[in-house]
Amino acid sequence: MHEFYRHRIHISDMQRNTLVQLLTFLLLTIVFTASAQHEKNEVIQHGNNHETTQHNEHDKDLSLEEQIKKDIEHHIQDSHSFHLTKGIGFPLPVILWDEGLHIFSSSELDHGVAEINGKHYAISHNNNHIYKTDATGVINYNEKGLETNAKPLDFSITKNVFIIMLVGLLMFLLFASLAKSYKNNNGIPKGFGRFFEPVVMYIRDEIARPNIGEKHYKKYMPYLLTIFFFIWFVNLLGLTPLGANITGNLAVTAALAVLTFIITTLTAKKDYWKHIFWMPDVPVLMKIVLAPIELLGTFIKPFSLMIRLYANMMAGHIVLMTIIGLMFIFKNWIGSSLSFGLAFGLSILELLVATLQAYIFTMLSALYFGAASEEHEHEMTH
């Protein structure tokens, strides 16, 4: 005993601090583990309860994993009503063209089949599209799981259309007020403008000018600015609890890519077509070989724009939702907190991706416009 005390006294202050820290850590770990054990039991009980209630509400034969998969699929798809979370939301107008115009509220489709002007419609839970059905509202699927029912022309204001309108309104108010603040403040922006002006300048000076050229870039600026801010805002909105997966929808990216393609084609100069169909400065045989490749390239370029934005945003949403879903599958303090950390990290990464994808789309559009409006000096002299 005496020996031990003598030894204790020789421990320096630093060593004692280390010892105290170590002991505290061990103690905490034990406390955490104990409480975690307790919580785990609770969570499992609670989770089981939750599971059963969910099962009762939806599909009785679905496991938690399948339920999560279904939720993710549901999230990335468009919807005919606006649902923030269970019970909170509102119906949106459905506009159909089926031998005449039919406009009705999506709430009529909430309980299966809806009878509108003597015609029956139902929403397929596979892709949230509206199909024509008989009075019972049954949708038939073929062996590949695709709907075989006839489809009316659907111009409904879906959730995505609603959010696109919202973003459009937001952008209009934001940038119109920015423009006004320039006018009222002697060419110096105020408020939000201070933040957005450098972005506008960046698009002008780093994207439009170098890729299109001093001579023609002004013509394309409105399109580049609109498409950049639209994609950016929509991407960012997709990360909010609104959870709209708009740029992860092929129809949206296809529309944007088609617009870029149309503008490229309509503003193309003589040189652009010459480079496609009769490439200068190469042998005649090569000219003949190159023409179909170049022509195909004009379609592949916007196609790649469409796929790139769609796939990136879609994948981001799926991965993020999956990791959030993992929390409910692990149901223990290590796995769930790990997936929380992962989801948090990924959300931050998605913020970057949201900006990056908007930048890439704008950048490549500018590049294509640049190719279309380019004029070769040496060709003019020929």
Q: Is 348 in the site for other proteins (CB under 8 A)?
A: no
| Spatial distance between the Cα atoms of 306 and 115, rounded to a whole number of angstroms | 37
Binds other proteins (CB under 8 A): choice among 72, 225, 276, 324: 225
| Spatial distance between the Cα atoms of 289 and 286, rounded to a whole number of angstroms | 5
To other proteins, the closest distance from the beta carbon of 200 in angstroms equals 6
Look up residue 224 and give its two tokens.
Answer: 């580049």
Cα 304 to Cα 73, 150, 234, 254, 259, distances in angstroms: 24, 31, 20, 10, 14
Cα 227 to Cα 134, 200, 269, 307, distances in angstroms: 42, 12, 23, 16
Site string for other proteins, 170-189 (x = CB under 8 A): -xx--xx-xxx-xx---xx-
Nearer to other proteins, 77 or 133 (CB): 77
Q: Is 258 in the site for other proteins (CB under 8 A)?
A: yes
Which residue matches tokens 């006004």?
A: 180
Classify burial at 66, counting beta carbons within 10 Å of its beta carbon; exposed 0-12, middle 13-18, buried 19 or more.
Answer: exposed
Query: Under 8 Å CB-to-CB from 163, ≥6 apart: which residues?
Result: 234, 237, 242, 244, 246
Binds other proteins (CB under 8 A): choice among 156, 235, 312, 339: 156
Nearer to other proteins, 155 or 340 (CB): 155
Look up residue 316 and give its two tokens.
Answer: 């981001």
Query: Under 8 Å CB-to-CB from 351, ≥6 apart: which residues?
Result: 236, 239
Nearer to other proteins, 36 or 221 (CB): 221
Binds other proteins (CB under 8 A): choice among 40, 204, 209, 287: 204
- Contacts (CB under 8 A) with other proteins, residues 305-344: none
Site string for other proteins, 93-132 (x = CB under 8 A): --x-------------------------------x-x---
Q: Give the residues lining the site for other proteins (CB under 8 A).
A: 77-78, 95, 127, 129, 144-147, 153-158, 160-161, 164-165, 168, 171-172, 175-176, 178-180, 182-183, 187-188, 197, 200-201, 204, 218, 221-223, 225-227, 230, 249-252, 254-256, 258-259
